[in-house]
Structure 1
Amino acid sequence: MPEGLPIDNEQVLNGTMVGYAQQLVVCTGKRDWTSRIENDGKDRGWGNLVRGLKKMMGRGGPYLDPFNNILVTNSSLRPSPSTKSQSTASALLFPAFKYIPSIPTSIAPSSSTTSSTTTTLKTFIRAFLLPKHHHATQTTLPQSKLTALTRTPELQSTHFPGTIDILHSPTILICGHGGRDMRCGLMAPALETEFQRVLRGVGFDSVGSETEGAVGGVDGPNHANVGLISHVGGHKYAGNVIVYIPPKMTVRSGSGSTLHPLAGKGIWYGRVEPKHVQGIVDETVLGGRVVTDHFRGGIDRNGGILRL
């Protein structure tokens, strides 16, 4: 590690994960970003998406909700070939386990269309990111305000028909944000290489977002997604790894298979070194067991935070 940037090997990891309702993993195709990701990609659709979300859901935005923290992270996963302009971007959404290949980055519709027929970033927020239910303290808000801040899931099929459910492929995200902190910047590439090697060795024929046999490059039999992501908190615990187990993944059981014990969940690990990768793949990805020594926290399919 760089001088003056040690790894914290003393603090208990359990409970150090940031609390969040959903994680949006923006596909950039880049392997590092500026310290503040909203300042990056100014001529790219993915950059416009991050800035638009910050404007709409951040401080002073119309969809700001302190009880609905959306963790927006950039990733090295490649965007869909259809997102070549500044007007669209691609992203994965967890723990919904969805891949949205074309997300509009424009906040307002063009003058030649109406808001009811045009898909905008507001449509995406309303379809996927707003909460299904509100916190008890928000019931005093006017009903019109609550309605405006509640998810409208029917917009998903009408405005985003290309959305893919990630049902079978585990996704492993490694904080590699060297532009923010060099501890993760140095550790992540070694972890990425080792995860790719180990996963191929245990039967995942394709690893990454580039591949044959994976629907949209993100889901398919014997496929796994591995990518670097931007800051998620806790660089002092590098390497930081998030393992998302898809809702229909199975594990071998006797002569057959059963539903994975961690199906639909995300598990956060810290202080991961390359020597730990084989164990994490064997125990968590294949066996459905949490490695307690590295456990920072987790999230279930409904957005509930997991603790030991």
Structure 2
Amino acid sequence: MLRSALICRRRLYSTIPFDNKPFKFSRFEPCCPDSAKVAANGYVPCQAHPIPDVLGRKIEIHEPMVRPSGLRHVVACIGPDALEWTRAKVEAHPGGIIHSIDHLKNRWLKGNKPTHDDKAILSTVANRPASSKTTDIIVFPEFKIYKDVDPNRLETFYPVLDTMWKDASSSLPKHVECDDMQADAFILVCTHGRRDMRCGRIGPLIVEEFERVIREKGLTRKIEVWGTSHFGGHKFAGNVIIHQRGLGGHMYGNVRQCHVADIVDRHIIHQRVIKDLWRGQVTPIQL
């Protein structure tokens, strides 16, 4: 079963529309370099978009950063003030949504065997406010949002989890109430400072730049941008995931503020995946 799942993921990878046009920047390259201050790791400060040099010198810009492709991304919308943000690992907060889901999955595994490996489903939290006092959960690639999910009462959401755990490529159950997301693209930037200060400091700057560019292009109704928890590879900061209808979900690394306008142009507007910064496919276009 795992072999067939890997073959399926390789097939999905082969259909990724990589951009034939060379990207304007290499990994973590600045737009306005201060060449007099090049660090031993290759980090070059940017005069237009400064970051603390002590963090820049800890960014890895040479090692391979592509990770295995996934099938689904589950995003729990907990708002900016949730207690999960005070933990290095959001799943370590007792009573939090990820902690509760992990606990339920451990029980589920005692009597079930998943088709796919653990990397098929990525789970993170985002600072997007929930529509109620509980949690909203967004599932990609379907762009479906399940509202008012109580971490202490997961019974109503359990059919969705059960379906994904059994086979991550299965269709979501239709009897569980959900809504379609209004956005055409959903951008998540790792801002998880309690886990690592590289993303903790660089991530919010990237969020602000995405918001500025999207606002200037009049795309605020079509694109959402939020901070998210750790999803791997802090040494490759800044880390970005973009889910887009018709393109699937893709992860980028070594992103700087300098790159944002061109990412919006190439990835979102022209729907081309930028291989220079690409870290892997988070979800396919559809399942």
Normalised to the residue count of structure 2, the TM-score between the two structures is 0.70
> In the alignment, what sits opposite 2:226?
227
> In the alignment, what sits opposite 2:116?
67
Matches within 5 A, 1:51-130: 51-58=99-106, 61-62=109-110, 65=114, 67-69=116-118, 70-81=121-132, 84=133, 88-106=134-152, 119-127=155-163, 130=166
The amino acid of 1:24's aligned partner reads V
Conservation of the 8 A alpha-carbon contact between 2:248 and 2:286: no
Bigger share in helix: 2
Structure 1 pair 105–196 and aligned structure 2 pair: CA distance change class (3 A): same
The amino acid of 1:180's aligned partner reads R
Alignment partners' CA distance in 2, 1:10 and 1:164: 42
Alignment partners' CA distance in 2, 1:268 and 1:58: 27
Cα distance per residue 1:133-183 (max 9 Å; x no partner): 6xxxxxxxxxxxxxxxxx6844x43xx32x112365200000111111110
Conservation of the 8 A alpha-carbon contact between 2:115 and 2:166: no
Matches within 5 A, 1:293-304: 293-298=276-281, 299-302=283-286
Cα distance per residue 1:89-118 (max 9 Å; x no partner): 21111112211112243468xxxxxxxxxx
What's the % identity of the aligned pairs? Answer: 28
Residue 292 of structure 1, CA deviation: 1.8
> In the alignment, what sits opposite 1:237?
236
Q: Which stretches of structure 1, 4 residues or longer, exceed 6 Å deviation after superposition? A: none
Conservation of the 8 A alpha-carbon contact between 2:198 and 2:234: yes
Residue 3 of structure 1, CA deviation: 6.0
Residue 264 of structure 1, CA deviation: 4.2
Normalised to the residue count of structure 1, the TM-score between the two structures is 0.66
Cα distance per residue 1:58-87 (max 9 Å; x no partner): 487345637253211011111112xx2xxx
Residue 194 of structure 1, CA deviation: 0.3
**SS state at 2:58 partner:** coil
> In the alignment, what sits opposite 2:209?
194
> In the alignment, what sits opposite 1:272?
255
**SS state at 1:288 partner:** coil
Conservation of the 8 A alpha-carbon contact between 2:69 and 2:280: no
Conservation of the 8 A alpha-carbon contact between 1:106 and 1:120: no
Alignment partners' CA distance in 2, 1:77 and 1:290: 25
> In the alignment, what sits opposite 1:35?
88
Residue 130 of structure 1, CA deviation: 3.8
**SS state at 1:90 partner:** strand
Task: Work out which of the residue numbers 26, 29, 50 in structure 1 matches 2:98.
Answer: 50
> In the alignment, what sits opposite 1:251?
none
Higher relative contact order (CA 8 A, sep 6+): 2
Alignment partners' CA distance in 2, 1:3 and 1:89: 33
Alignment partners' CA distance in 2, 1:196 and 1:4: 23
Gaps of 5+ in 2: 1-51
Structure 1 position 165 matched with structure 2 position 148: no
Cα distance per residue 1:233-283 (max 9 Å; x no partner): 11010000011112xxxxxxxxxxxxxxxx141111100000000000000
> In the alignment, what sits opposite 1:286?
269
Residue 230 of structure 1, CA deviation: 0.7
